[in-house]
Amino acid sequence: MRILIVRHREFHLVDYSILLVTRTGRKKRVEQRQIIPLACAVGLLVLSIIGLLASPSLSHALEKYGRPLPSMEQPDDAAAREAEETLFGGYFLTAAFVSNPTFAARPDNTGLVGLRHMLHLETDLYKQYLTFYTDQNFFSDRTRGWIELSEWDGTFALTGLVDRFGWRIQYERDAPLDRGGTKQIYTDTLLTSRFQATEDLSWWKRIFPDQNLTAYAGAGWLFQNSNYFARPDNTGRALFRYVAHADLDLYKNRLVLYGDMNFFTDREAGNKVTPSELDWIIGLALRLREDMELSLYREQDQPLDRAGLVQKYVAVQFRYSFDVPKRFWKK
């Protein structure tokens, strides 16, 4: 069972779908023409990863909420999931921030993150249509030793999938652990739409038999917001969020290039729909086994409507996923 906890935009691909701009159905010549922009896009994405990971640091702060991770599902897993509910599933991850000039270790932007540990648990209440999940995210402060935890972000949500569409309602609370201080709390809802190249593009499997492209995009509303900020420097209060995510399977779901974009708007600004912050992430994941993954990624949170603090880091992360079907409970 997999959920899409916020699980980009134009690539010539757009909308939870990053819809690959082409329509098929015109014969070979048209299909071949579409491969050129695709190859260019893939090349640019690869070059972007190299450039982003190598570029010098800017400045500070990210959303600490557990980021979308590249899905471990195989292309045929959706049908299998419909056929069998799970008792519970999830994953555990641990990450070392190998380069962190500015990513804060607490909601008040103090300290610098050293380690991150996260537990994600989910259970299907009714097949894939209604799922409960929780994320428990912990951070340590490298300026006070790498072990002692400095922040705890707890998330509880209901989510579901209907065909290619997803929905979510979520509560999140980010709080310091080692001292008093600022807490960031909100409740939001999110709607997304999904795209999968092997299903939505008839020519994809002929040209790329060992690769796949999945994506989603959507919009959300933070309808209850107690101090969840609209910029990395802790100014404003977030109102809307726009999300986009893509996984490019480079080889048989073993090597995956992934990217994520998260925009926030400010309810205190004159224009409440124009983004005030952009959080983006780009990474490369290697599947060691079906249930284990090692990844290298970079994240950066930056203001869009004014100059200010930018938070960023590069991390190495290990993830282990698990799934317990209900049939084991019944035995």
**What are the boundaries of each domain within the chain?**
28-330
Fill in the amino acid letter for 100.
Answer: N
Dist. CA 204–CA 200, nearest whole Å: 9
- Give the number of other CB atoms < 10 A from CB of residue 45: 16
pLDDT digits (tens, 9 = 90+) for 243-293: 999 999 998 888 999 999 999 999 999 999 999 999 999 999 999 988 899
Q: Report in angstroms the alpha-carbon separations of 76 from 165, 198, 266, 288, 321.
A: 17, 10, 40, 20, 18
Dist. CA 105–CA 139, nearest whole Å: 6
Is-contact 170 200, C-beta < 8 A?
no
Dist. CA 230–CA 240, nearest whole Å: 9
**Closest by CA position to 146, among listed 94, 212, 198, 107:** 94
Dist. CA 141–CA 174, nearest whole Å: 15
Dist. CA 254–CA 261, nearest whole Å: 23
Fold category of 28-330 in CATH? Porin (2.40.160)
Residue 324 is predicted with a pLDDT of: 82
Tokens of 168: 């979510």
Residue 17 is predicted with a pLDDT of: 32
SS3 label, residue 222: strand
Which residues of the chain, if any, have pLDDT below 70?
1-86, 328-331
Q: Is 138 left (phi over 0), alpha (psi -120 to 50) or beta?
A: beta
Dist. CA 305–CA 266, nearest whole Å: 10
**Closest by CA position to 93, among listed 137, 126, 132:** 137
Task: Report the Cα–Cα distance between both ends of the chain, in Å, rounded.
Answer: 20
SS3 label, residue 150: strand
Contacts of 47 (CB under 8 A, 6+ apart): none
Distance of CA 202 to the CA centre of its chain: 27
Residue 55 is predicted with a pLDDT of: 38
Dist. CA 78–CA 164, nearest whole Å: 11
Q: Which letter does DSSP use for residue 237 in this model?
A: -
Is-contact 157 112, C-beta < 8 A?
no
Fill in the amino acid letter for 201.
Answer: L
Is-contact 173 151, C-beta < 8 A?
no
Q: Is 134 left (phi over 0), alpha (psi -120 to 50) or beta?
A: beta
Dist. CA 104–CA 84, nearest whole Å: 41
Residue 65 is predicted with a pLDDT of: 34
Dist. CA 167–CA 176, nearest whole Å: 29
Q: Report in angstroms the alpha-carbon separations of 284 from 13, 287, 304, 312, 314.
A: 20, 10, 26, 17, 12
